[in-house]
Amino acid sequence: MSAEIAVLLVEDEPHIRRVLQSSLAAEGYRVFEAESGERGLIEAGTRRPDLLVVDLGLPDMDGVEVVRAVRHWSNVPILILSARTEESDKIAALDEGADDYLTKPFGIGELLARVRALVRRRAKGGQEMPRVHFGEVQIDLVGRSVTRNGELVHLTNIEYRLLAVLVAHAGKVMTHRHLMREVWGPGHAENSHYLRIYVSRLRQKLEANPAEPAHLITESGVGYRFVVQG
Amino acid sequence: MNCGSHTRTLSLPAAYLASVVACGLVTLLAMPLRHYLDLANIVMLFLLATFLTALWLGRGPAVVSALLGVALFDFIFVPPHLGFIPSDAQYVVMLGVMLAVALLTAQLTARARENAIAACRREEQTNHLYQLARDLAGTLSRWDTQRALDDFLERTGYRAVLHFVEPGGPVRETHLAESLQAAFRQGRPLEDGAAPTLFLPFRGAHGASGVMVVTSVGNAVPPPVQESELFRAIASLVAIAVERLNAAEEVQASRDQIASERLRASVLSALSHDLRTPLTALIGMADALAISQPPPAGAAQAASSGEALTAIRDQARSIGHMVTNLLDMARLQAGGFSLRKAWQLFGDVVGASLRQLRAAYPGRRVQVALPPDLPLVEFDAVLMERVVFNLLENAAKYAPDDRPIEVRAWLEDGKACLAVCDDGPGFPAQRIDRMFDLFERGNAESSRSGVGLGLAICRAIVEAHGGTIRAENRAAGGACVALRLPLGMPPSFEEEEEEARR
């Protein structure tokens, strides 16, 4: 890594903190640590990190609170670490604007991949991309057209809007609620079956193997994620 | 209040004797006065004696007093003296009127006395019952209730035993069982003719609760049937007390249950946290070591330590899976587990499970056949993903690597069905029905890891959704596990109006 990228680690378990710290440092990141939510917020304010890794089960305050507080003043990418018993907290944190999550126990490889993706997204952030390629598909965001193997794919309005929202947030986990709000507008948050049906149709039209999607990924119980590389 | 002043303090023969003596005394008293008094006034003395006898000694002695008084008056005072046949007809009238008045007096006075005694008794009884009600209100158990009843009946010569009948439950005292059951079923007092026993069911508003069996102790008191009023009142007091006890027990039980559920939830979540934290650290450390391997001094050594690190990580991961399964199993079996149900498509769940499978079995071939027109099905996506992943993992574990795993979905009899099949050795035929039991494995000596939780948790999850899951062997060889979920009424879906985009 040429320009040093700063990562703030908010985790109360010393063993996990140490492992994450050393792995991230080995990858060339500059790592700051905080063992509590309060400390984490202070560090986030003073160090201005490029990425936050926040454990949901903090001793002093809810990880969701940390995400909410940070989102008041920053768009810095936030990766959530959660245990399986914190399912609803995880969704709340994503709804509050966290970008991605990892469920404990997770591998370092997974962690580094997620961190890399988030950092890359941040680096690219702001610049509008006219075209997106994935698999056999090319999306022309300016001309609002989608082709597959060079042939025009017909998408309905909603299908296109949904695809555009997912592509715009590539790599980020989008909760059902968030997607419903973006595509159908507020007031439709309860009709998430629409979302499932439309995602399924998009897969039929765009995925090489719709039964085993490589780009339009299901995050069970949470939402969907678009990834460029399968 | 004491009813003793009204009650007979003499035994019955003594009372009769006393009435005779009273008549004699009146006669002796009147003898010297007969020259100064009119016969009519002497009659008054005898009537007074009869009246007082009736008041103090009761009906029988009063009648004796009336008859004897008339006889003595006739014999001694009515001319001719010392003879029964009166000399004048007007004496006959006098004697007739005297007899009538004496008997009427005896009758009326005795009745008034009896009424007074009865009223007094009732009042006493009411006071006693009030006392009993107060005692019963303070009881804390069925045993207490029986004891309060024993105290109440202590000196009455009766004994009442409470038999509690649980609905449909057995009655322990076999020699009384029939009468008890009959009294309870009929819900009204039952008198046992042969033995002087009274069976009184008591029943609370919520279907409690038993039969009170009343017997007399010794022969001093009338059979309990004659006091059934009283015992009915007692039975209703007992019913109230038992009802109160049942309600208190229920409140206590639900309080206990809430407390124990809260405890269980906090234990599970603490356990989950405490188990996962070291596992996460362990996996992380193994990963970190593997990534930061120093350049190999000896290639062979590096390869073997790399293998060891991979093995550590894989084992820690599989412990992690087991912990997840165990904790979910514990939560499901504990009940009170809330499913986060939503209307889902099988495709999402199958896709997510396959993605999970790829992490552990990258090259495994899986054939998926999902009809495009499958309806929405209501389930908890996270838990159902666990089911499908467990089934896929089993297939990947037990079937040969080069044979594809098959996933199929279809509709059948109003059920949405999903099956995962493989070309492996299949389930052992004799144990196929027990494959979903906790800790059951196809081959107990198998070297493959897993404690037989996978299928058990699948069943627990599917059954929590009101569905069924079955294992079978395919005719061509290989195992098949199929789950069936009820279809229900999916929410409405409106197609968007198509208009040409752009």
A160/B370 CB distance under 8 A: no
Chain B nearest C-alpha distance from A73 (Å): 31
Query: CA B431, B437, B438: angle at the middle one, nearest 5?
Result: 130
Q: Is the pLDDT of residue B191 over 80?
A: no
Least confident of B127-131, B178-182, B186-190, B455-459: B186-190
Asked whether the predicted pLDDT for residue B320 surpasses 60, the reply is: yes
pLDDT range class, residue B189, cuts 50, 70, 90: low
Interface test with A, best of B269, B275, B287, B406 (most A CBs within 10 A): B287
Q: What percent of chain B has pLDDT over 90?
A: 18
Kindly list the residues from chain A whose CB atom is less than 8 angstroms away from the CB atom of residue B502: 144-145
Measured CA to CA, the distance from residue B157 to residue B216 in angstroms comes to 6
Chain A residues whose CB is inside 8 A of the B498 CB are 156
Question: Each residue of A9-33: pLDDT tens digit?
Answer: 999 989 889 989 999 998 899 999 9
CA distance B180 to B378: 51
Confidence of residue B1 (pLDDT cuts 50, 70, 90): very low
- pLDDT above 70 (res B52): yes
Residues of chain A found within 8 Å of residue B364, distances taken between Cβ atoms: none
pLDDT of residue B2: 52
B281 pLDDT tier (thresholds 50, 70, 90): confident
pLDDT band at A77 (very low <50, low <70, confident <90, very high): very high
Is the Cβ pair B368, A212 closer than 8 Å?
Answer: yes
Inter-chain touch A85–B372, beta carbons under 8 Å: no
Lowest average pLDDT, out of B50-59, B175-184, B342-351, B392-401, goes to B175-184
Identify the residue with better confidence: A51 or B450.
Answer: A51
CA distance linking residue A133 with residue A147, whole number of Å: 10
pTM beyond 0.95, yes or no: no
Q: Is the pLDDT higher at B500 or at B155?
A: B155
Mean predicted confidence (pLDDT) in B305-311: 81
A192–B284 C-beta distance less than 8 A: no
Predicted-complex ipTM score: 0.88
Task: Give mean pLDDT, residues B129-146.
Answer: 85
- Which of B280, B328, B388 is most worth mutating to test chain A (most A CB atoms within 10 A of its CB)? B280
Q: Give pLDDT, residue A44.
A: 93
| pLDDT(B172) > 80 | no
User: Looking at chain A, which residue has its C-alpha nearest residue B318?
Assistant: A105
Under the banding of pLDDT at 50, 70 and 90, the label for residue B430 is confident
Tens digit of each residue's pLDDT (9 = 90 or more) over A194-230: 999 999 999 999 999 999 999 999 998 899 999 887 5
| A151-157 mean pLDDT | 93
Instruction: With beta carbons under 8 A apart, name residues in chain A contacting B404.
Output: none
Q: What is the pLDDT of residues B353-368, one digit of tens each?
A: 999 898 888 889 999 9
DSSP characters over chain A: --SPPEEEEE-S-HHHHHHHHHHHHHTT-EEEEESSHHHHHHHHHHH--SEEEEES--SSS-HHHHHHHHHTT----EEEEE-GGGHHHHHHHHHTT--EEEESS--HHHHHHHHHHHHHHHHHTTPPPSEEEETTEEEETTTTEEEETTEEPP--HHHHHHHHHHHHTTTSEEEHHHHHHHHH-TT-TT-HHHHHHHHHHHHHHH-SSTTS-SSEEEETTTEEEE-S--
Structure tokens at B435: 């494959």
Residue position matching structure tokens 């079955």: B470
Flag whether pLDDT at B57 surpasses 70: yes
Per-residue pLDDT band at B502 (split at 50, 70, 90): very low
How much is the pLDDT for B451? 47
Smallest CA–CA distance, residue A222 to chain B, in Å, is 9
pLDDT (average), residues B42-60: 88
Question: Residues with Cβ < 8 Å from B84, sequence gap 6 or more?
Answer: B71, B74, B75
For residues B117 and B54, the answer to whether their CB atoms sit within 8 Å is no
User: What is the CA B86 to chain-centroid distance, rounded?
Assistant: 81
d(CA A15, CA A33): 12
Residue A165 pLDDT greater than 80, yes or no: yes
Give the pLDDT confidence of A114-128 residue by residue, as tens digits: 999 888 877 776 556
- Percent of chain B at pLDDT > 70 equals 83
Res B461 pLDDT > 70: yes
